[in-house]
A and B are shown apart, each in its own frame.
Chain A
Amino acid sequence: MAYSDKVIDHYTNPRNVGTLDKASHKVGTGLVGAPECGDVMRLQIQVDDNNVITDAKFKTFGCGSAIASSSLATEWLKGKSIDDAMKIDNMDIVEELALPPVKIHCSVLAEDAIKAAINDYRVKNGMEPIASEKVHH
């Protein structure tokens, strides 16, 4: 299977690899997937007092498309408010990276990771978690 240039680019030069202090109340952490399924993503956001994401980091165990999806997600998150970040849709990732149908689950996982990180931050800061009602593609 051939990968798109954008997947290869994110895979070869992954953006924002790393770890934020998950104990900090300014940091939200989302850990999704399972080793048995061959994909685990950990996405972290650093949020300022205006609920704007100032930094995002990821680490991913998975195929090239999973790594590229999480790398792209961290790029998109930076500078967004947590409310806007909540609107990132997995199909936006599919489109941007030209993922083939068998790799759509990678984008779903990235969206789940974003939402999990935001909710972790919300709960830490006394906000209600937002339930995801979306039916995935």
Chain B
Amino acid sequence: MNIPVYLDNNATTPMDPRVLEAMLPYFVEKFGNAASRNHPFGWVAEEAVDYAREQVAKLIGASEKEIIFTSGATESDNLAIKGVFEMYKEKGNHIITTVTEHKAVLDACKHVEKLGGKVTYLGVKEDGLVDLAELEAAMTPDTILVSIMYGNNEIGVIQPIREIAAIAHKHGALMMTDAVQAVGKIPVDVNADGIDLLALSAHKIYGPKGVGALYVRRKGPRVKVTAQMDGGGHERGMRSGTLNVPGIVGLGKACELCMQEMESEAKRLSALRDKLQAALTVLEESYVNGNQEHRLPHVANISFKYVEGEGLMMAMKDLAVSSGSACTSASLEPSYVLKSLGLSDDLAHSSIRFGLGRFTTEEEVDYAVEVTKKSVTHLRELSPLWEMFKEGIDLDSIEWAEH
């Protein structure tokens, strides 16, 4: 077992050595530009890109012509949202999304608002899921796009994408989903699910950083997005820029491996995750955040009340996890995702996200349980709030001096 133990696989994943192996020839030996149509160097690169396009398409049930390669999911989200707004603004100017989306979606929507668009940010229920009746009620004749993430990056809840897409389509809107956390982890099928645009990233599925893709539906309906970068008109005119051939080869290989191993991996990881969660919720005053039935197999987000998340992570220095505590970011606000579930600030401050991955072993999970339990117990001994709780003092009855 390697120390520190990495349990932050929702932030990024280590690259699978098989992915690296697939990429290696495309740096030095096969360095061609996939857009060079007149010599073998270009042809070899183009062939590799085409193959990767098939591998990516297959994983999400798409056709290879529907895959646009990008620099990652942030770019894919931006291209989808801004690109749809620009392309369809004659039809309508309204977009619907949720408050628990990734910042790439939220900030792209804010940009659209600056351009005169209207955006509805739906709240979520206590378990993190979208209220379908609320979505239905928010649809207007001007709604051109519904953008709702597939699986949440902080709490792992899986949104009812099929039902959401059906509502969007009923009202003539397109369905976009940021599926970064879901693709390769659970079955995603753009046709069965009714998805028109989908963002994915390589580095969350054991591929390299700096490469991702946007799925853009070509049939029923044929969807178009306005390019957000001017240049050589690559990727069917939707995304200019010389293709990152080694990265794309890596993304393709990563998708192929997920396709082969997803089913068994999901079973293995959910068993490990359940074991971790069961062992940690034995601790008094610990709470699992988000819906536990509709959840990605590899994530558990747990709040340990009366202990502050950053302090806890410092105690667990041999464990790489992340926290919804304010102190982990530059802002002093705790996680907006956890707060949108209706969690009080103190519980949001006390949360830890455990993200398991392909290389996580049972031994590591056992170690994580041991370290977490020890650290929570230790910090509670230091916590005045824990002492008050144990004395039966109602913390809400105290007038705290907010600072």
- What residues make up the interface of A, taking CB atoms closer than 8 Å to B? 3, 11, 14, 17, 19, 31-42, 59-64, 66-67, 102, 105, 108-109, 112
Contacts and interface: CB of A to CB of B under 8 A. Distances in A.
Interface in B272-307: 306-307
A103 B332 CA distance: 11
B403 interface: yes
A17 B403 contact: no
B381 interface: yes
Given A36-B402, A61-B382, A62-B311, 20 more contacts: A11-B311, A14-B382, A35-B385, A36-B346, A37-B332, A38-B326, A38-B346, A40-B385, A59-B382, A59-B387, A60-B384, A61-B308, A61-B384, A63-B308, A63-B310, A63-B325, A63-B327, A64-B314, A66-B311, A112-B403
Contacts of B314: 3, 11, 63-64
Interface string B331-344: 01010000000001
Nearest to A70: B382
Given A36-B345, A38-B334, A39-B308, A61 B385 contact: yes
Contact of A38 (B308, B315, B384, B398): B308
Contact of A67 (B326, B334, B382, B402): B382
A35 B345 contact: yes
A59 B384 contact: yes
Contacts of B307: 61
Given A3-B314, A14-B382, A59-B387, A35 B395 contact: yes
Centre residue among B309, B314, B345, B384 by max chain A CB count within 10 A: B384
Contacts of B402: 34, 36-37
B260 interface: no
B400 A38 contact: no
B60 to A, nearest CB: 37
A102 B308 CA distance: 16
A11 B330 CA distance: 21
Q: Which of B306, B327, B349, B385 has the most CB of A within 10 A?
A: B327
B385 A64 contact: no
B304 to A, nearest CB: 11
Contacts of A41: 384
Interface residues of B, number: 31
A63 B311 CA distance: 4
Interface in B127-183: none
Provide the main secondary structure of the chain B interface.
helix
A34 B400 CA distance: 5
Contacts of B384: 31, 40-42, 59-61
10 closest Cβ pairs, A-B complex: A34-B400, A35-B346, A36-B345, A42-B384, A63-B310, A59-B384, A64-B314, A38-B349, A61-B383, A63-B327
A63 B310 CA distance: 5
A60 B382 contact: yes
A59 B400 contact: no
Given A61-B306, A62-B308, A63-B308, A35 B400 contact: yes
Contacts of A34: 400-403
Contacts of B383: 40, 59-61
A27 B154 CA distance: 44
Nearest to B380: A61
Interface in B65-107: none
28 contacts: A11-B311, A11-B314, A17-B381, A17-B382, A31-B384, A35-B400, A36-B346, A36-B349, A37-B345, A37-B402, A37-B403, A38-B326, A38-B327, A38-B334, A38-B346, A40-B384, A41-B384, A59-B383, A59-B387, A61-B311, A61-B383, A61-B384, A62-B308, A62-B311, A63-B310, A63-B311, A63-B314, A112-B403
B306 to A, nearest CB: 6
A109 B403 contact: yes
Contacts of B387: 19, 59
Contacts of B346: 35-36, 38
Nearest to A60: B382
B308 A36 contact: no
Interface in B354-403: 381-387, 395, 398, 400-403
Given A38-B326, A61-B307, A33 B400 contact: yes
A2 to B, nearest CB: 11
